[in-house]
Amino acid sequence: MHTVLLTIRYDGRAYAGWQRQDGFSTVQGCLEDALLRVFDEPIVVHGAGRTDAGVHALRQTAHLRLPRAFPPHGLRAALNGNLPQDIAVVDVRAVPASFHARFSAIGKRYVYRFCNTPVRPVLGRELCHWVRFPMDVERMRAGLAHLVGEHDFAAFASNPGYPRRRGTVRRIDQARIIRRPHGMDLVVQGNGFLYNMVRAIAGTLQRVGTGRMPPERVREILLSRDRRQAGSTAPASGLFLLRVLYPPAAWIADALYEGDADRSGRAPSSPDLGPGPSESH
Element (H, E) at 274: none
Of 11, 52, 91, 185, the active-site residue reads 52
**CA dist 154 to 15, 170, 201, 223, Å?**
27, 10, 11, 9
Q: Distance (Å, rounded) from C-alpha 51 to C-alpha 44? A: 17
Count of CA atoms in the C-beta half-sphere (13 A) of 231 = 26
Q: Which contacts qualify for 123-132: CB closer than 8 Å, 24 or more apart?
A: 124/276, 126/11, 126/13, 126/237, 127/11, 127/56, 127/237, 127/238, 127/276, 128/183, 128/237, 128/238, 129/202, 129/206, 129/234, 129/235, 129/237, 129/238, 131/183, 131/206, 131/209, 131/210
Q: Which amino acid, 182? A: H
> 77 Cβ partners below 8 Å, 6+ apart?
none
DSSP annotation of 241: E
DSSP annotation of 190: E
Q: Distance (Å, rounded) from C-alpha 29 to C-alpha 45? A: 9
Q: Is 52 a catalytic residue?
A: yes
Element (H, E) at 78: helix 72-80
Residues with a catalytic annotation lie at: 52
